[in-house]
Amino acid sequence: MNAPVLPGYWQEQGIERVLLDEATIAARVRELGEQLCNELDDGREIVLIPVLTGAIIFAADLMRAMPTRVRFSLVSVASYGAAITSQGAVRSGALPANLAGKHVVIVDEILDSGATIRLLRKEIGELNAQSLRVCVLLRKQNEKALSTPCEMVGFDIPDIFVVGYGLDYDGSFRNMPFVGVLNLASIGMGSKG
């Protein structure tokens, strides 16, 4: 199979290669949406809880892949600053209200150390939802990620720093429509820190 073509603009911005192209992501997001509908469409309300900021692109696409009544309720967790290593998870702002009796899906773009997902599953798990699932687009192949309970995974990927499709480096690259690998030398970092 040919490697996906890397658009010139993104190459100039320091992207080394495409890991998941747009079509591949779109097809998998459609499958995840279908799966959620099949599992949850029983007349109860479905609430997607995207984790700001990285999950917004994935959650927006996932929601549109679900032809049923779906609500959105955002939650904000910070874990990465300008660095590329996990720094633990801290929630900022309120937890979603009125989840009792509803089907709740925590939506995040990537599972790495698992700190974000563990924190949210514990906190949201106390809100009496009818069911609670975690759906991530990407899961890194490292021990912490793989040992973090997670019901739905879009793609298992190597344990490397990726950007695009909502994932940033220092605030940039969220609008890149595919998931790519940043050339660490281009941002002055030789290896994963």
* Residues 84 to 143 in contact with ligand 5GP, rule: CB under 6 A: 86, 89, 108-116
Residues 130, 102: contact at Cβ < 8 Å?
yes
Nearer to ligand 5GP, 33 or 164 (CB): 164
For ligand 5GP (CB under 6 A), the number of binding residues is 21
Half-sphere exposure of 164 (CA within 13 A, CB side): 23
Rg (CA), the chain: 17
Looking at the DSSP bridge assignments, the partners of residue 48 are 72, 105
Q: Where are the alpha helices (DSSP H) in the chain?
A: 8-12, 22-40, 56-64, 115-124, 143-146
Question: Of 112, 159, 168, 170, which residue is the catalytic one?
Answer: 112
* Closer residue to Mg ion in complex, CB, 68/172: 172
Taking CB under 6 A as the rule, which mask of x and - marks residues 11-50 in contact with ligand 5GP? ----------------------------------------
- Determine how many CB atoms are found less than 10 A away from the CB of residue 188: 6
112 classed as catalytic: yes
- Residues noted as catalytic: 112
Positions touching ligand 5GP (CB under 6 A) are 51, 54, 79-80, 86, 89, 108-116, 161-163, 167-169
